[in-house]
Each structure stands twice: as structure tokens, then as C-alpha cells.
Amino acid sequence: MSFLELLKDTVDKVDGAVSAMIIGTDGISVQEYAPEKFVDLTGLSAEASQMIKDINLAADNLGLGEAREFSIISDRCGIIMRKINADYYLALVIRPEGNYGKGRYILKTAVPKLEDEF
């Protein structure tokens, strides 16, 4: 399954999901799937780079181990990010009324399909 097919499948399986992407920790998007332009994915990629660094630093400082998943829930949308490996994350953007629990589950099941590709 190609990256684009996996991202499309991820969005299609989650009620309220509007886009998915694979993001490098350097802030560069590897692949995006966005049937509608709901959020600026280029901006999200760039901002995600700093968020990933900050969250990993906080988890390390608190002695929590590695941060495998995090989310940002705002008035306009939710963004769930799941670690693929040390250099890449899978992100899902969901509308406020979307199914965040299913989104987390689908990301958790999608990451093993991507690990061997990196």
C-alpha cells in the first residue's frame, strides 16, 4: 500500500477526519492527503517540528520516557500525531465533532504498516 493510499484509508475510516500526513521531525511533509483544504498543512508541518522537539524534551525532563503520541484540540479542529520512528510522525486532522477515540486507534494500527518503509 502506498503512503497516499494509507493516508486516504486513515481519513476515510474516521468520522470527521479531514486530512492526514506523514511529517518529518525536520518539518518537511513526506506525503499529504487532504480532500478539502481545512488546515494549512505546510504550516502544520513547520510548526509540528518545534512541537515534537518541545514535547520530547518535556517528556525527557519529567522522566516519562519517549512521547509516542500527542494531540492538540482547538476550537477549529483536533490534530493527533503518532510517532512512526525517531524521524517521522503520522498526523490526523479531525473536525471538532469528529471521533477522536477512533482517530487515535486508527493511527495506532496504521503506524506498524509504515515502520518498515522508513
Which pLDDT score, from 0 to 100, does residue 32 have? Answer: 95
What are the cell numbers at 42?
505546510
Is the residue at 54 inside a domain? yes
**Which residues, including other chains, have CB under 8 Å from residue 14's CB and lie 6 or more apart?**
92, 94, 98, 99, 102, 103, 106
Distance CA 59, CA 6 (A): 29
Rounded average pLDDT over 55-76: 93
For the full predicted model, state whether its pTM sits above 0.75: yes
Is residue 19 assigned to a domain?
yes
pLDDT at residue 117 in the model: 85
- What would the mean pLDDT of 48-54 be, rounded to a whole number? 90
**pLDDT tens readout for residues 2-48:** 999 999 999 999 999 999 999 999 999 999 999 888 888 989 898 88
Instruction: With a cut of 90, say whether residue 118 has pLDDT above it.
Output: no
pLDDT tier for residue 72 given thresholds of 50, 70 and 90: very high
97-118 mean pLDDT = 94
**Count of domains in the chain?**
1
| CATH number of the domain that residue 22 is part of | 3.30.450.30
Domain that holds residue 46: 3-113
74, 57 contact by CB (below 8 A)? no
Tell me, what's the pLDDT at 1?
77
Task: Using a pLDDT cut of 70, give the percent of the chain over it.
Answer: 100
Mean pLDDT, the chain, as a whole number? 93
Q: Establish if 118 belongs to a structural domain.
A: no
Q: What is the pLDDT at residue 100? A: 97
